């Protein structure tokens, strides 16, 4: 049980080890959710590793006297079976540290500490093909809740990954959320922003100084990148230019790009800067989608380049 984990996760090798002792009937009750689309969702672990999920499954298990269906994200490796905060909220769990138990939908379940000091719950596989207990689908959100959250997340991305307080001011006057209580709307906004992978990778301080100080004191310490558009006078076509400039020396490079896809921008960064001057310590960019995406952030993480998103 890990209250620091936003989702319930397990490694594929840990899953094989867990289900290796199960019968074919028990393993057949694990449902693979194919409605989530491609496996682009990532998870950041305590050692700052960013791992892409393989799939999402629903595992029927018995905790105490309750049979529940845990929505679980599967990652490669020996990641332990961690019940995250989303499942605990869905179960209305109330943890009692003094008595080493927690209340699960009206029943008391004991837990123990392992050798590492972590809280461990005993899970039982479903023994019968016909379940003796009703299954509770552990999902913190109802369908209505999910639809509202998806709308809010679209607005959040559309307005450049806006902060929760700005989202609150924008949506509380909208037609769709005008009659919703402010506390519920605030909860929906917080959940939508928390589930945003880009915001998770790019957590910044809310307060920003009115005037900026010197950003760099040496070459390649801080490099700014931006896209600009202009019209070709001869062909009357729009041209997109990727411009990079060193914050210290003001040395700059520019290249015409055929489109704004992340792989195209990464190719320009590699060709026009990394191959010529090496990797910068920091890359400054605005909050447009060409830079604020998982593919670009993972590339910068591998290359050891810190990124900073600016307002403009």
Nearest to 69 by CA among 33, 119, 115: 33
Rounded CA-CA distance 242/227 in Å is: 5
State residue 278's pLDDT score: 94
Return the exposure string of 209-224: e unless at least 16 CB atoms fall within 10 Å of the residue's CB, then b.
eeeeeeebeeebebbb
Q: What is the 3-state secondary structure (H, E, C) of 51-101?
A: EECCEEEEEEEEECCEEEEEEEEEECCCCCCECCHHHHHHCCCEEECCCCE
State residue 179's pLDDT score: 66
List, in order, residues 6 or more apart from 211 with CB less than 8 Å away: none
Return the exposure string of 153-183: e unless at least 16 CB atoms fall within 10 Å of the residue's CB, then b.
bebbbeebbbbbeebbebbeeeeebeeeeee
Rounded CA-CA distance 284/279 in Å is: 13
C-beta of residue 175 within 8 angstroms of C-beta of residue 192:
no
Is the Cα dihedral 158, 163, 168, 169 positive or negative?
Answer: negative
Residue-wise pLDDT tens digits, 240-293 = 999 999 998 999 999 999 888 999 999 999 999 999 999 999 999 998 888 889
State residue 312's pLDDT score: 60
> What are the residue boundaries of the structural domains of the chain, listed by start?
9-138, 143-201, 222-309
Rounded CA-CA distance 11/73 in Å is: 8
C-beta of residue 305 within 8 angstroms of C-beta of residue 283:
yes
Write down the CATH number for the domain with range 222-309.
3.30.420.10
- SS3 state at 256: strand
Rounded CA-CA distance 280/118 in Å is: 40
pLDDT digits (tens), the chain, 312 positions = 777 777 888 888 888 888 887 777 677 777 777 665 555 667 776 666 777 777 888 887 777 667 777 788 888 888 888 888 888 777 777 888 788 787 776 678 887 887 777 788 777 665 544 444 444 444 433 344 456 777 788 888 888 888 888 888 878 766 566 667 778 888 888 888 888 877 777 765 455 555 555 678 889 999 999 999 888 777 778 899 999 999 989 999 999 998 889 999 999 999 999 999 999 999 999 988 888 899 999 999 999 999 998 876
CB under 8 A, 24+ apart: contacts of 88-95: 88/1, 88/3, 89/140, 90/138, 90/139, 90/140, 91/136, 91/138
State residue 252's pLDDT score: 94
Q: How far is CA 6 from the centre of its chain?
A: 9
Write down the CATH number for the domain with range 9-138.
2.40.70
Nearest to 126 by CA among 280, 242, 270, 19: 19
State residue 27's pLDDT score: 73
Six-digit token string for 14: 């840990």
Q: How far apart are the first and last CA of the chain?
A: 41
Neighbouring C-alpha atoms within 13 Å toward the C-beta of 59: 25
CA diameter of the chain: 79
| β-strand partners of 51 | 43
pTM over 0.95: no
Rounded CA-CA distance 5/3 in Å is: 5
């Amino acid at each position: 049980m890990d209250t620091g984990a936003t989702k319930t996760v397990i490694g594929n090798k840990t899953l094989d080890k867990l289900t290796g002792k199960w019968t074919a009937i028990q393993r057949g009750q694990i449902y693979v959710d194919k409605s989530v689309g491609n496996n682009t969702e990532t998870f950041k672990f305590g050692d700052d590793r960013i791992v892409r999920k393989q799939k999402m499954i629903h595992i029927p298990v018995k905790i105490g006297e309750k049979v529940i269906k845990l929505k679980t994200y599967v990652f490669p490796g020996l990641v332990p079976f961690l019940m995250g905060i989303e499942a605990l909220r869905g179960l209305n769990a109330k943890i009692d540290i003094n008595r080493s138990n927690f209340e699960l939908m009206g029943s008391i379940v004991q837990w123990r500490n392992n050798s590492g000091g972590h809280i461990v719950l005993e899970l039982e596989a479903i023994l019968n093909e016909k379940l003796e207990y009703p299954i509770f689908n552990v999902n913190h959100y109802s369908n209505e809740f999910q639809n509202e959250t998806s709308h809010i997340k679209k607005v959040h991305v559309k307005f450049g990954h806006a902060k929760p307080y700005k989202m609150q001011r924008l949506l509380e006057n909208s037609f769709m959320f005008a009659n919703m209580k402010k506390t519920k709307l605030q909860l929906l906004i917080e959940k939508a922003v928390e589930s945003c992978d880009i915001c998770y990778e790019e957590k910044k301080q809310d307060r920003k100084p009115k005037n900026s100080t010197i950003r760099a004191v040496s070459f390649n310490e801080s490099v700014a990148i931006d896209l600009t558009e202009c019209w070709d006078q001869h062909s009357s076509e729009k041209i997109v230019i990727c411009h990079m400039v060193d914050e210290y020396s003001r040395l700059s490079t520019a290249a015409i790009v055929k489109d704004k896809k992340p792989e195209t921008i990464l190719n320009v960064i590699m060709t026009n800067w990394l191959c010529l001057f090496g990797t910068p310590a920091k890359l400054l960019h605005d909050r447009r989608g060409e830079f604020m995406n998982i593919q670009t952030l993972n590339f910068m993480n591998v290359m050891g380049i810190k990124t900073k998103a600016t307002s403009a």
